[in-house]
């Protein structure tokens, strides 16, 4: 299957700082990528849809000024958690869909963010 | 609100038995349905997807879809301890964009 690489796999940061997470599709082009968040023992919740060359679409309740998404190329989307707080500590996962294929979306390995 | 519902479990089965995981969805416009397996602390990995009514088999796994009943299931034959994980059901919510709506997941425990 296609490969989606997410970096870093884990990060610890201080409250008030910003953290950037990268999501790359390694062997296919993705006009659309998705960012999910998963709290312990809960399911994945979609945060936003990242669209190459245009603004991201955020789900209800997700602050677009806090979670900045940039999708500058067909293989890279970034999520920046700005002014992080302990309640932002979570598992962040991206997924990407091959623009040339039909159905499957592939997941990155996830980023464990801990804000102290 | 578009929802995907799963019993959180845990579902416990003995090694070698058939594990049956169930999922219902609310959006009748959903076209594609996915089963993911997620080990603790890891990202979900796709087991299989289904978009036609009926059964789809892949090795020890069989996905079943009944659109009239808005019901999706996953059967795991000859369950192994390594199958112990959380199984996530997801629907595309009629968007056809790759955006998925996930259920809360069912924890499966396969006991040796």
Q: A55-59, B56-60, B97-101 — which is least confidently predicted?
A: B97-101
pLDDT the model gives residue A8: 97
The residue among A71 and A22 whose pLDDT is bigger is: A22
**Predicted confidence band of residue B1 (pLDDT cuts 50, 70, 90):** low
Omega cis (within 30) before B10: yes
**Secondary-structure percent of chain B, ordered helix, strand, coil, rounded to 5:** 5, 50, 45
Question: Do the strands A10-13 and A111-115 form a parallel or antiparallel pair, or are they unpaired?
Answer: parallel
Q: Which of B32, B98, B104 sits opposite A42 (nearest CB)?
A: B104
Task: Provide the phi-psi class of A31: left if phi over 0, else alpha when psi is between -120 and 50, else beta.
Answer: alpha
Decide if pLDDT at A41 tops 90.
Answer: no
- Listed in sequence order, the residues at least 6 apart from A61 whose beta carbon sits closer than 8 Å to its beta carbon are none
What is the pLDDT averaged over residues A56-79? 93
Q: How confident is the model over A65-89, as a mean pLDDT?
A: 94
A12-35 pLDDT, tens digit each: 999 999 999 999 999 888 888 999
Q: What are phi and psi of A87, to 5 degrees?
A: -70, -10
Residues of A in contact with B87 (CB under 8 A): none
Look over chain A and give the mean of its residue pLDDT values, rounded to a whole number: 91
Proportion of chain B above pLDDT 90, given as a percent: 78
Give, as one character, the DSSP assignment of residue B45: E
**pLDDT digits 0-9 by tens, B17-39:** 999 999 999 999 898 999 999 99
Cβ <8 Å between A103 and B32: yes
Give the mean pLDDT of B82-93. Answer: 94
- Local structure of residue A15 (DSSP, 8 states): T
3-state DSSP of A18-76 = CEEEEEEECCCCCCEEEEEEECCCCCCEEEEEEECCCCCEECCCCCCCCEEEEEEECCE
**Residue, of A79 and A1, whose pLDDT is higher:** A79
Q: What is the pLDDT of residue A103?
A: 64
Cα separation, A33 vs A53, in Å, equals 12
Give the Cβ contact number of residue A10 at 10 Å. 11
Average pLDDT value for residue range A47-64: 91
DSSP B73-111: EEEESS--GGG-EEEEEEE-TT--SS--EE---EEEEEE
- A83, pLDDT greater than 90: yes
A71 — contact with chain B (CB < 8 Å)?
no
User: What is the mean pLDDT of the segment spanning B87-95?
Assistant: 86
Does A109 contact B46 at a Cβ distance shorter than 8 Å? no
- Count of alpha carbons within 13 angstroms of residue A67, beta-carbon side: 24
Phi, psi of A100 (to 5 degrees): -90, -5
Provide the pLDDT for residue B96: 65
Q: Report the gap between the CA of B89 and the closest CA in chain A (Å).
A: 10
Residue of A54, A92, A105, A114 to mutate when probing chain B, most B C-beta within 10 A? A105
């Amino acid at each position: 299957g296609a490969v989606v690489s997410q970096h870093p796999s884990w990060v610890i940061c201080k409250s008030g700082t910003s953290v950037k997470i990268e999501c790359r599709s390694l062997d296919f082009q993705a006009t659309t990528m998705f960012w999910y968040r998963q709290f312990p023992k809960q399911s994945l919740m979609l945060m936003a849809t990242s669209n190459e060359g245009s603004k991201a679409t955020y789900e209800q309740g997700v602050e677009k000024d806090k979670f900045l998404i940039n999708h500058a190329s067909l293989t890279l989307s970034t999520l920046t958690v700005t002014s992080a707080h302990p309640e932002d500590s979570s598992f962040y996962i991206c997924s990407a869909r091959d623009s040339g294929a039909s159905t499957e979306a592939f997941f990155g390995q996830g980023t464990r963010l801990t804000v102290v | 609100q578009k929802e995907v519902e799963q019993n959180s479990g845990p579902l416990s089965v003995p090694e070698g038995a058939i594990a049956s995981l169930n999922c219902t969805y609310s959006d009748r416009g959903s076209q594609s349905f996915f089963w993911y397996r997620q080990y603790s602390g890891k990202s979900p990995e796709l087991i299989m997807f289904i978009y036609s009514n009926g059964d789809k088999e892949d090795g020890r796994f069989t996905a079943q879809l009944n659109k009239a009943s808005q019901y999706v299931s996953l059967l795991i034959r000859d369950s192994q301890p390594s199958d112990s994980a959380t199984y996530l059901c997801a629907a595309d919510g009629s968007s056809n964009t790759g955006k998925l709506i996930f259920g809360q997941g069912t924890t499966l425990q396969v006991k040796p």
